[in-house]
Each structure stands twice: as C-alpha cells, then as structure tokens.
Amino acid sequence: MTLTVLYFAWLRERIGEPRDTITTEAATVADLVAELRTREERYALAFSDLGSIRVALDQELSEFDAPLAGVREVAFFPPMTGG
Amino acid sequence: MTLTVLYFAWLRERIGEPRDTITTEAATVADLVAELRTREERYALAFSDLGSIRVALDQELSEFDAPLAGVREVAFFPPMTGG
Amino acid sequence: MAIRVQEAPFDYGAECSAFAAGTEGAGAVVTFCGIVRDNDGTLRGMDIEHYPGMTERALAGIEAEARNRWPLSDALIIHRFGPLVPNDMIMMVATAARHRADAFAAAEFLMDYLKSRAPFWKKEHSADGADWVAAKDEDEAALTRW
Amino acid sequence: MAIRVQEAPFDYGAECSAFAAGTEGAGAVVTFCGIVRDNDGTLRGMDIEHYPGMTERALAGIEAEARNRWPLSDALIIHRFGPLVPNDMIMMVATAARHRADAFAAAEFLMDYLKSRAPFWKKEHSADGADWVAAKDEDEAALTRW
C-alpha cells in the first residue's frame, strides 16, 4: 500500500521534510515506525523515543499497535500544545 | 438608641415604606423584630416568617441573635437574587 | 480591579475587549455575562432592586476574597439595577490570570457569591402579573464547594 | 455553533458581543481568551503550527462532545495559527446555556480538550533561540476530571 506520512513540529524539523509518500507492507503503525527508522539516521533519531510521539491515522488520534489496513494518511507529531 | 431601618423587595412592599427611623432599647435584632411586629398588622405580616428574611447591620450580613449596640443602620430583606 | 453598579446598559463586547487588552502578563481571560431570559415567552421585563452602599461593599468583599484565593492579575464586576427587558444584559464578571484554571475558578466563585451574597432582588413582570424571583436552594448550595 | 481555524487576528470583544447577541434564550454566556504571555520578558514571538484538516475535525469532535454533555444553546471556538507576538490573542471559546453552571463547565471542557487533543504546536522565539513548548503533565491530567 502507499501511504502519505506527515510530520509536525520538532519531528518535521528533525526529519527535514513535512511529508513522505511511502509504499510499505507494514501491518501496524509500529511496523511502519520500525521501517522508517531503517531509512536514514535522521529518521532513527526522530523516532528514538516513541513515548514523546503521537500518531494520527486519517486524521484521528490512534495508537502504535493500530493496524494500517485501509489507512491513507499517517501523521506523527509530539504531544499537542493548543489553547 | 435611634436606628435607621431599611426594607427591600417584598418586605418593603408589604410594609409600604422603604425605611423607618426607630428609637428603641432592643438589645438584639430579634428584639427589634419583636418590637416591629407589635407596631402594626403590616409589620406583623411582613415579619411572620423569619426563615425567609435576611438581616444586615451597617451593611454587613448578620444574624437575628446579633447585638444592636453601636449599630446605626439595620436592613431587612429576602434572600438575595443577584447575577 | 473595578466594580461598577449602574442603571445604564453596558457594552459587553467593549468591556471584554478593554479588559483583555489591559491585562498585561495574563495568559487567560474568562468572562461571564448574564442575560434576561424569557423562559416561557411571557416575560415582559424585570426590575432589579438593590441596596446602595451595601451592594458596592459586598461586591468589593467578594472580589477581595477571590483575589485572596487565586493569583489574579485583574478582575471586573459590572451589575445593573433598575428596569430591564428580555435579552438585556444584567451583569458581567471578568477575570484574568496567568493560568486558565485560576481564571475559571475565580469567575465561577465571583458568580456563585454575587448570586446569593450581594444585595440584589429581581422582580419579574409577565402577562400574569409581577413576582419576586425566589432564591434557589441550588444557588445557596453552590457556595459550599468553595 | 462555529469553529474557525485561521491565521488572521480576531476581535475578541466583537466576537463576545456577537455571540451574546445571537444566543436567544440563554441566560448565561461564558467566554475564554488565551493571550501570548511573555513570562520573563524575553519572548519575541511564537509560531503556531497545526495539522490542516485534522484540526477542524478534532475541534468539531470536541465541540460535539461538549454539546452532548451539557445543554448548550451555542458554542464558538476560534484558534489562530502562524506567527504571533506577545499580547496577541491566540484563541477563544464561548459557550451559552440557560444555566451558568453548564456554560462554565462546557467552556472549561472545551479548553481542557483543545489543549491536549487538537493538533496545534507552539514554538517560542526568544533572545536565546527557539524552542517547542512542551506539553504539560497537568494539562493531560486535567482531562481525567471529565
């Protein structure tokens, strides 16, 4: 499947791109993260501490063990600081 | 002593006056109320249920057993409905 | 810090704007506005009676207590008296603080106390006649949480 | 009911005024306004990043949940993104209800949820450099009371 992967805030800055288009067979968000980590050092660094990262699937907050089947847009970002 | 006695809301309407000037030897608010009740029927009616009346002494909320020594202004009124 | 007891209308939006602009250092502003409500379509108007002198003292005391309990950078209370019609604004409070929890708590505290501890009385006029609004048990009960 | 996510400034006072005028039947209006705070005098400005699309969905979901929990006659959320300087207004919420307790609770609920569940991120610029604002444990903890 082909996914649009978005990065926000310091995650976007560390990776150096606001988005990637990725073709992957990853079954879950965690699998996708494992795959991204192997891409390049900057990805490995950006994803070194999952406790400080949140994920949204098709614009809904989700979890790292969530399946990616049917998903088109994955977003990674730090805890939100609105208001 | 001579007191200014003020009435508000339905208490004022029942008594028919917004204020009285009263010379009294009443020691407490309760004594004053007892004295007012003997004045005229409209006072007896207005003060028939003390549970629905509040009192302020010199513009501070007070109680019926409070002493009147040194007080200049006594106000009687129903529970407040501001806001 | 300001307390205004007045017969004249006030401009809620303009007051909010001026209050927020005047609160340097505060990150959070909360305002409340009370409006004359016509619950069943029969209300023609309302008279608000108050106790001049005691009203200002009571509001000042309530505001001082709020500033005692929460670190407020500013607070405002405006309360009208006299004749009002449905949809008129009766009163407002505003609070400003560094953190939103303090601004919210102080605004609710001001409202709870001025409902039952400031000497205002409302008389409603409807097609059926005129009645003094009775104090609600829940308003008295609201004070126990502070 | 309205949700606006915008880069342009908004006029807090004018929004309060229009909101209160538009809430027929509501006796209680509560508004909150968040302002860029310069705690130690070194803040030059702030950039607010957001996730277009998800932001609107998240805010609409939070607002729907508030209307589910409290009988609101109206609600408003405005949140800015982009560059801001100290004393700029970041966002506001407004709620209207028949009773003040509902309007207050709903406004606090909207604030607590949009703090931690709407995809906004703040980066502060000061004389020392730029830093992403860290989420506070207390903001996450605030959600557990609802």
CATH fold, domain C2-145, is Aldehyde Oxidoreductase; domain 3 (3.90.1170)
Checking if the pLDDT of B37 tops 80, the result is: yes
Put simply, the answer to whether C114 touches B75 (Cβ < 8 Å) is: no
Q: Please give the average per-residue pLDDT across A8-17, as a whole number.
A: 97
pLDDT tens profile C88-113: 999 999 999 999 999 999 999 999 99
**Banded model confidence at residue C23, pLDDT cuts 50, 70, 90:** confident
Chains with ≥3 CB–CB distances under 8 Å to C: B, D
Pairing of strands B54-57, B73-77: antiparallel
C to B contact (≥3 Cβ pairs closer than 8 Å): yes
| Token duo for residue C118 | 């400031």
Q: Please give the average per-residue pLDDT across B18-41, as a whole number.
A: 97
- Optimal mutation site among C11, C15, C23, C35, interface D, most CBs of chain D within 10 A: C35
- The CATH superfamily of B2-77 is Beta-grasp domain (3.10.20.30)
**Banded model confidence at residue D97, pLDDT cuts 50, 70, 90:** very high
Interface check for C43 against chain D (CB to CB < 8 A): the answer is: no
pLDDT tens profile C35-65: 998 877 889 999 999 999 999 999 999 999 9
- Chain A contact set for D34 (CB, 8 A): 83
Chain C residue with minimal CA distance to D88?
A: C21
Per-position b or e across C14-46, b if 16+ CB within 10 A of its CB: ebbbebbeebebbbbbbbbbbbbbbeeeebebb
Under an 8 Å CB criterion, which residues of C touch B? 34, 49, 51, 53-54, 57-58, 79, 90-91, 111, 114-123, 132-135, 140
Put simply, the answer to whether D32 touches C28 (Cβ < 8 Å) is: yes
**Banded model confidence at residue D81, pLDDT cuts 50, 70, 90:** very high
Cβ pair C77, C4 in contact under 8 A = yes
Domain locations in chain D as residue ranges: 2-145
Domain locations in chain A as residue ranges: 2-77
- What confidence score (pLDDT) does residue B13 get? 97
Report in angstroms the alpha-carbon separations of C66 from C62, C108, D14: 6, 10, 27
How far does C79 lie from chain D, in Å, by closest CA? 14
Q: What is the 3-state secondary structure (H, E, C) of D4-34?
A: EEECCCCCHHHHHHHHHHCCCCCCEEEEEEE
Q: Which residues contact B4 (CB under 8 A, 6 or more apart)?
A: B19, B20, B21, B72, B73, B74
Checking if the pLDDT of A5 tops 80, the result is: yes
The tokens 């200002």 sit on which residue? C56
Checking if the pLDDT of A18 tops 90, the result is: yes
> Angle CA(D1)–CA(D141)–CA(D76) in degrees, nearest 5?
10
Cβ pair C97, C70 in contact under 8 A = yes
DSSP, collapsed to helix, strand or coil, labels residue C109 as helix
A to B contact (≥3 Cβ pairs closer than 8 Å): no
Residue D136: Cβ within 10 Å count: 14
Structure ipTM over 0.90, yes or no: yes
The tokens 């880069």 sit on which residue? D7
**Banded model confidence at residue D7, pLDDT cuts 50, 70, 90:** very high
Q: Half-sphere exposure (CA, 13 Å, Cβ side) for A23?
A: 0
- What confidence score (pLDDT) does residue C87 get? 94
- What confidence score (pLDDT) does residue A8 get? 98
